[in-house]
Structures are given as structure tokens and as C-alpha cells.
Amino acid sequence: MMANGISVFAEHYNGKLEPVVAELVTAAKIIQKETGEPTSAILVYNGCDTILDEIKTIGVDRIYVVKTEKGMLLQDDALSQIIADMVKEINPSGVLVPATPTGRSIFSRTAVKLGCGLTADCTELLTGIRKDGSYYIKQNKPSYGDNVIVTIITKESCYPQMMTVRPGVYEAADADDKEAEVIHMDNVKVPESGVEVLEVLSSGPDNDSILSAEAVVVGGRGAAENGSFDLIERFADVIGAAIGGTRPMVDTGLVPFNHQIGQTGYTIRPKICISLGVSGAIQHTEGLKDVRLFVAVNTDENAAVFKMAHYGMAADLKEVLESYLDIYG
């Protein structure tokens, strides 16, 4: 039987669906408009059915389910085998996976078990059509130090086309009034894992997640000088904004990797973005989408960031922040 359908891996944690799943449903629907293929979610879970109820209205046509007797957290050896067996039976032409630590870990193993490829960290998915009329997915991603965007195409007749997609690059799909058909795959066996989880510790609160924040203050290379980053932290706290950074800020250790914005980091869609000491290189600005108010401060009046900012100030960010904090801080 010919492979058909676009499946989305329904990643979840503590009974809650990861927000990126709704974004992948949007990507799947875009492909569906071109190819006419059905969309589906792949779900492996245990416990109550709250997570299943949530996925029913996320916008896919079907949900393929394996319910386990115990949790599978970090047991990627067993979980990847379950998913590989599910994919063999579902036989989709494409599988979209969140480019998260969990998605990368599970599906690198799944790809080996299926003998198929896996494109990592895609930032755009497009469709192409072959001479025989069949469709394929163009998997675009940054490469060569983020200096170019490359298009990867899975070899013809090699299915499924499997790829991880970065969080934030697609808008989340709206809830659908029509409930998806649920298909329980009771024939799929749940193997024993060689991993035993002894304890799970919280990494601490993440109150300033850049993925959900409406306002984000972004520090660039210029923010790492003369104690400016301390001022940025105070400023962000006063206005209630999350803090993001460019790659140089991550390399210096001032900003954690999960707050890096750009082609090698996250794509965000804040209402307000205030860029401080950011040059505006495309490697960074590709991570900013649909910003309603963009304000930039840079000493270089010719900085590329001013071309996309709604308001720009050619000034020393330290002087600007000190003046603001003297009044409001």
C-alpha cells in the first residue's frame, strides 16, 4: 500500500500537550491543502484521558493511540520502538516531530529502526510535485553556520519523510469543532525499557519563557559590554518582559541556550520586541515573526536592525537604560 497521510507526534509532559504540537498541526494542514492527504496525531500515553480529549479538537483527522500501563518518561529505547511499530502500521508519507530534546532523542532512534532519514531543525516545509504527479516535502533548514538555507528532499519511494520542526516557526492551529477519529492500536506491543527513572527534579520556574512572552527584551553583542546586561535584566523586570539573546550572548553564558533567538535558536512571535545592542544579522532576525511593535537601540546608525524596526534609536544602550531606570526603576 502506498504511503499516505501526514502524521504529527503529540509530545506531552505531565498530562499536558506541548504547545509546539498545535504548530505542527498547522504545518500538516498546509501540506494537506496541496496533497489532499489526511492528517493524524501519534499519541503514546498513560493515566487519564485528558491528553486524548485535548488532541481530539486540535484539528487532525485521526488520532492513533497506544496507551501504556506506566509512564515512558526518558525511556526512549522502548518508546522509539513503540512509535516505529505505529508508523509501520499507519504508513504515513510524512511525520512531523517537534525539534525538542524529547523529539530529537526519540525520533533519531525511530529513524534507525525504520531505516529512513530524519531532517533536523526545519524552519519551513513546502510541497513539490514530481513528474508522475506524486508529492514530496521540501524540508528547509539553516546550514553552513546559519549562512544559507538548504532544501532537503527525502529520496523518492523512501517513506516516511521524517523531520523535526523548530518551535515557533508556525502559528498554533485553532481548536476544531469536529472531533478527530480515535484509533486504538492495541496490537502494538510495549517493550521493557533498559532505562529506569529513579527521580525527576524540577529545573526551577520558567516564568519568563520567550516562547509564550508577549514582550521580549533581546540583548546582542553590544549588551555584553560595560555591565550593560545587568541593566537589561533590571529593565526587563520593570516592564515585565522576558529576556532573549543572540548567539554571541549565549556563547558568553549571559543568556541560556533556551532563550537564544534566531536560526540556531528559537522563533518567537511577541507583541513587543525591544532589541538592545543587536546588529540585525539575518541569522538572528529570522527568529522574529509577526512582531507588532519593534524597538531597536544600537550605536551604529547603519545597523541592519533599523531596517526592520518600527522605531530606532542610534544611541548608547547603557545611557538609554540608565535614564529610563532613573525615572521608572
User: Do 11 and 158 belong to one domain?
Assistant: yes
User: Do 177 and 249 belong to one domain?
Assistant: no
Which CATH number is 227's domain given?
3.40.50.1220
Please give the model's pTM, rounded to 2 decimal places. 0.81
Domain for residue 194, yes or no? no
Q: Where does the pLDDT of residue 193 fall: very low under 50, low under 70, confident under 90, or very high at 90 and above? A: very high
User: Do 132 and 222 belong to one domain?
Assistant: no
Domain for residue 252, yes or no? yes
Contact 190, 148 (CB under 8 A): no
Domain for residue 199, yes or no? no
Q: Is the pLDDT of residue 7 over 90?
A: yes
- Residue-level pLDDT at 59: 95
User: Do 30 and 135 belong to one domain?
Assistant: yes
Mean pLDDT throughout 10-31?
Answer: 94
Q: Where does the pLDDT of residue 142 fall: very low under 50, low under 70, confident under 90, or very high at 90 and above? A: confident
Residues 6+ apart with CB under 8 A from 38: 4, 5, 6, 32, 61, 62
User: Do 43 and 144 belong to one domain?
Assistant: yes
Q: Is the pLDDT of residue 206 over 60?
A: no
Contact 223, 275 (CB under 8 A): no
Number of Cβ within 10 Å of residue 200's Cβ equals 9
Domain count, the chain: 2
User: Do 36 and 150 belong to one domain?
Assistant: yes
User: Do 221 and 321 belong to one domain?
Assistant: yes
Q: Is the pLDDT of residue 208 over 60?
A: no
User: Do 165 and 245 belong to one domain?
Assistant: no
Q: What is the dihedral of CA 217, 221, 225, 230, to 10 degrees?
A: 20
Which CATH number is 142's domain given?
3.40.50.620
Of 142, 161, 184, which residue constitutes the final position of a domain?
184
Terminal alpha carbon distance of the chain: 66
152-191 pLDDT, tens digit per residue, is 999 988 999 999 999 888 999 988 888 999 999 999 999 9
What is the residue-averaged pLDDT of the chain? 91
User: Do 103 and 240 belong to one domain?
Assistant: no
- Which cell numbers in the block locate residue 28? 500538516
Q: Is the pLDDT of residue 192 over 70?
A: yes
256-304 pLDDT, tens digit per residue, is 988 999 877 888 999 999 999 999 988 888 889 889 999 999 999 999 9
- Residue-level pLDDT at 18: 92
Contact 25, 40 (CB under 8 A): no
Sheet holding 242-245, edge to edge: 242-245, 215-219, 272-276, 293-298, 311-314
How far, in Å, CA of 288 to CA of 270, rounded? 8
Domain for residue 123, yes or no? yes
- Residue-level pLDDT at 175: 84
For 104-138, the three-class secondary structure string (H helix, E strand, C coil) is HHHHHHHHHHHCCCCEEEECEEEEEECCCCCEEEE
C-alpha separations of 241 from 59, 128, 204, 221, 230 in Å: 31, 40, 18, 19, 14
- Annotate 296-322 with b (16+ C-beta within 10 A) or e (fewer): bbbeeeebbbbeebeebbeebbbebbe
User: Do 161 and 87 belong to one domain?
Assistant: yes
Domain for residue 161, yes or no? yes
List % helix, strand, coil for the chain (3-state, nearest 5): 30, 25, 45
User: Do 140 and 257 belong to one domain?
Assistant: no
Q: Where does the pLDDT of residue 222 fall: very low under 50, low under 70, confident under 90, or very high at 90 and above? A: confident
User: Do 169 and 228 belong to one domain?
Assistant: no
Domain for residue 196, yes or no? no
- Residue-level pLDDT at 124: 93
Domain extent for 236:
215-328
Domain for residue 283, yes or no? yes
Which residue has cell 486540535?
58
Q: Is the pLDDT of residue 145 over 80?
A: no
Which residue has cell 506531552?
12
Domain for residue 190, yes or no? no
- Give the residue, 205 or 73, on which the prediction is more confident: 73
How far, in Å, CA of 290 to CA of 268, rounded? 9
Pairing verdict, β 62-67 and 181-184: parallel
- Give the residue, 201 or 308, on which the prediction is more confident: 308
